[in-house]
Structures are given as C-alpha cells and as structure tokens.
Amino acid sequence: MIKLIAFDIDGTSINHLRKVDPETLSFFKEYHKKGYQFIPTTGRSLDGIPQAMLDLGIMDYAISSNGARVTNLKTGEDIFAHLLSPERAAELIDLIKPYNVRVTVHANGVCYDTGRFQRLGRKILFHSEFEETPIVRDLATFIRENQLMVEKIQLFSLSRKRLMKLQRKLDEFKDISYPMSSSNYFEVTKKGANKGRALTYLSGYLEIPLNEILVIGDDSNDIAMFKVIENSIAMENASDRVKNHAKFVGFPNRKGGFSKSIIAYFEKYGV
C-alpha cells in the first residue's frame, strides 16, 4: 500500500500558468487525512517551493535542487546533502565565464543571480516564489569568500551550440553531472546528486519501503526517481522519453490533472 507520494513541482503539481490548482490543494488535504505523506521533489531551490503548499502545514520533508538536498521542513535542517565543494564550484564558474552563458547558483536553499534582468527572466519564465537574495556579480569570488557548498549551477543560453561546446569542456571533470534539460538550459551538480538517490535515502530514513512510495513527474530529472520506484506516473505533458520510464501516464498539468493522475493510478492498480 502506498504511504508516501513524492511529487515534482514544475510541469506536474503546478499548472501551465505556474500556479497551484485549487483541486491540487484540496487533494493534498484530503489524502493527508487518509494517512499519505507528501514530499515535494524538485529541481528548484528550497525557497522555490510554492507557499500555497507549505501553508497547508502537512509536508515534513522536501527534496530540492534535483536531489542535492533533503531537508526537514519543520526544523530547516538537512538530513542529506550531496554538494559541490566551494573550490570545485568556483573553479567551474571560472571555466564557464569565457562561454558567455547566463549562470545562477543554488546554495543554502536559495538561488543567486548575477543580474536584475536575469532575475526578472527567471521570474517570468520559471517562477516567482523564491526569496530575493542580493545580486552577485562575481559568483566565483562570492563562493570562495563565503565558502559556500553549492547544490546546483544552472546554465542558460539561446545558443544550443554554445552550450554543447561547454558540455564537451566539462567532460574533463569526472566528479560532476550535467545532463541537458532543454535546448537552451542545463544544470551542473555533484556526480550522484539526483532525485532517485535522495528519495532512496529518505525512504530508509523514514523506514518506508520503496514499494510503498509513489512518484510523479514530467521532466528528465524525474527519470532517476522512475528508475528506483516502481509506482511511477509521468504527466501527459511529459516528453516520450520520460513517459517511457514511467509505469503509468496521467493527465496534463492543468485543471486538476495532478490529482486526477494519482487517483487514476490508484483506481487502476489498487494501491
């Protein structure tokens, strides 16, 4: 029987307008009363989890930055972290500079931008839930001076050719991962930081077997969850590659599609 539901945010539990549907909030409350635990499992930094979800007061843990951190939401303490060292993160950012791509960094549960225009673009294209941190013009120096352990480095460019060239340069580093998330964006994390590994750790920590967990997502960073959790749902708006890794394909992420997908899974498999 399913006891825990680990869910992605963007493209999954928020709609195409990047808002949480009322149906989703009602579902969370109803199924929490039935005994289900809910774990936000996202590529966002911790401060990007929608406040509407947190305000329910029913979520005890969160997996953020694609699995780099697992945090107790009640205490704010990490129970698991797989992070880039300050030295490695700063070295990578120095290496990236000549390629003229946009860079943001996740550290300490927040996202650091290098310019106001960049921050505005992130708000428009992704979400506006995050805490506004000071603009950091020189990320490498900032990381070194503050000895920041880095969760994730995000790289954006309108030139896919430029990003592909940068990826080939990053091949020299064997201790990092950097899958291409879209045609103009990819992320760098410490090798082994992914949602599947983080969820496996949390499963052991909470003493909930993997076969009593359901996962739902839509993006390539959710495949790592699908590989370790049999009970898996890909949203209808996911790519075919993502769908091929899931046990079940649900509804699009609009008009309550998130909750409809989970309910349909329960009805089909009786879990």
Residue 149 C-beta-side C-alpha neighbours within 13 Å: 10
Structure tokens at 93: 């950012």
Residue tagged 């996740």 (tokens): 106
66, 54, 59: which is closest to 8 by C-alpha? 66
* Domain-terminating residue out of 169, 190, 211: 190
* Number of structural domains in the chain: 2
Q: Are strands 150-156 and 102-107 parallel, antiparallel or unpaired?
A: antiparallel
Structure tokens at 240: 């075919």
Do 59 and 104 fall into the same domain? no
What CATH number is associated with residue 19?
A: 3.40.50.1000
Q: What is the pLDDT along the chain (271 residues), one digit of tens a residue?
A: 999 999 999 999 999 988 999 999 999 999 999 999 999 999 999 999 999 999 999 999 999 999 999 999 999 999 999 999 999 999 999 999 999 999 999 999 999 988 765 666 566 556 556 666 778 889 999 999 999 999 999 998 889 899 999 999 999 999 999 876 666 888 999 999 999 999 999 999 999 999 999 999 999 999 999 999 999 999 999 999 999 999 999 999 999 999 999 999 999 998 8
Residues near 36 by Cβ (< 8 Å), separated by ≥ 6? 2, 3, 4, 5
Do 11 and 49 fall into the same domain? yes
Do 185 and 202 fall into the same domain? no
In angstroms, the CA 140 to CA 92 distance is 8
Taking the chain, what is the end-to-end CA distance rounded to the nearest angstrom? 5
Do 216 and 236 fall into the same domain? yes
In angstroms, the CA 126 to CA 130 distance is 10
- pTM for the structure as a whole: 0.93
Burial 43-63 (b: 16+ CB within 10 A, else e): bbbbbbbbebbeeeebbebbb
Structure tokens at 97: 């500079």
In angstroms, the CA 42 to CA 48 distance is 9
Q: What is the DSSP letter of 210?
A: G
Do 49 and 127 fall into the same domain? no
Q: What is the pLDDT of residue 179?
A: 76
Do 228 and 178 fall into the same domain? no
In angstroms, the CA 36 to CA 2 distance is 8
